[in-house]
Amino acid sequence: MTDKTELIGLSKTEIQEKLIQMGEKPFRAKQLWQWLYFHGETDFDKMSNLAKDLRQKLKNNFTITRPKIVAEQVSKDKTRKWLLEFQDGQRVEMVYIPEDDRGAVCISTQVGCAVGCRFCHTGSQKLTRNLTAGEIVSQFMVARDTYGEWPSPTAETRYLSNIVVMGMGEPLHNPENVIKALNILTDGEGIAISRRRITMSTSGIAPKIVSTLKATGVRLAISLHAPNNQIRSKIMPINDRFPIEEILKACQEYQSGDGSRYITFEYLMLKDVNDSLDNARELIALMKKYKLRASFNLIPFNPWPGCIFQPSTEKNIKAFADALEKAGFAAPVRVARGQDILAACGQLKSQKEKS
Ligand code: SAH
Ligand code: SF4
């Protein structure tokens, strides 16, 4: 272990304070920031507009670290999956899902998860620890390293165009680090991903929803997965703490005053649990009651060894989607990607641990 300070994950202000403490002018901090986040540079010696003695000072005091890539797989449909390892040996997964000329990188916020949703493989692994802001940001930086997207391309030309905070962990159980990380990822002098191209998904930690969204300006997705508390509590025990009404009230507050804020409700299709037409009707009534501007994302369930649920039939998923669409809600069915590389949440990690 070193007593040097890791730069990735410090806010702009923090970097500035550190450099001023070292007797440097504030504009040096801006230059350093651009090396880190615009150029993706990891070698102090290559920071050509910094004087040699400053580079040496930086080297003596700081590190620039990426998580180690432990495993990497590319699926037939070009979905890519990384297993990443941090300094203490803890591991998370990251997935890149390409579309024609763009694509979304799915990043993690915790090692494991304390929410314990019954259908989720990560949830069956318990919480080990929160990720730091630097560990959250550096996942995306590994994706950029892999695809050679440094220096930061413009919004029109970048291939890694979107970020979804939908990997391992519950972001609203680690809000401080998530907020800090998202503010670094969206900074215009660095990585510069637009806030509208980032979606954060939560299981519904109601008291944290509005404050975290306000602090980041990203898009909100709620893992709803059920039309009523009875079903939801069965598959997501956290619903006893934060029931549907509380979550939807927070959603109302988030939307009030800004008509452009749409919410995506994720709905996992579980056979004979939440996938009947009656369930769809109840869901529509719920949305109408709360007058939310919402769309749905119907997710085919990805089974894993030891899980008690089965995926809904294609016929049921289609009927469910049709009912929502007839009621005026967009309800695309998420296309299963990367099936041949086990792209379900948590599966690459556990496969590797077994071997
Ligand atoms: N903790 C956050 C974000 C990470 S989970 C949340 O729950 O929203 C991201 C999404 O993957 C959630 O919508 C979750 O319900 C879904 N998911 C979990 N296990 C799954 C599985 N086995 N098959 C398909 N989707 C799953
Ligand atoms: Fe945690 Fe999300 Fe998995 Fe639930 S679905 S256990 S909140 S990661």
Q: What is the CATH number of domain 68-354?
A: 3.20.20.70
Question: Where residue 2 falls among pLDDT bands split at 50, 70, 90?
Answer: low
Ligand 2, atom 4, residue with closest C-alpha: 117
Instruction: Please tell me the predicted confidence (pLDDT) of residue 99.
Output: 87
Residues 24, 93, 135, 266: which is the catalytic one?
93
Beta bridge partners of 84: 69, 92
| pLDDT score at 335 | 79
What is the distance in A from the centroid of ligand 1 to the CA of 208?
19
Return the domain boundaries, the chain.
5-63, 68-354
- CA separation, residue 96 to residues 133, 156, 219, 296, 306 (Å): 20, 18, 19, 21, 26
Instruction: Tell me the per-residue pLDDT of 32-91, one tens digit each, with 9 for 90 and over.
Output: 999 999 999 999 999 999 999 999 999 999 999 999 999 999 999 899 999 999 999 999
Task: Please report, rounded to a whole number, the percentage of residues in the chain having pLDDT higher than 90.
Answer: 86
Split at pLDDT 50, 70, 90, the class of 319 is very high
- Cβ–ligand 2 contact at 115 (below 6 Å): yes
- Quote the mean pLDDT of the chain: 93
307 is catalytic: no
* Model confidence at 344: pLDDT above 60: no
Does ligand 1 lie within 6 Å of residue 177's CB atom?
A: no
Same fold, 5-63 and 68-354: no
Ligand 1 near 301 CB (within 6 A)? yes
Q: What's the pLDDT tens digit per position in 163-213?
A: 999 999 999 999 999 999 999 999 999 999 999 999 999 999 999 999 999
For 249-263, what is the mean pLDDT?
89
pLDDT of 284 > 60? The answer is yes
Write down the CATH number for the domain with range 5-63: 1.10.150.530
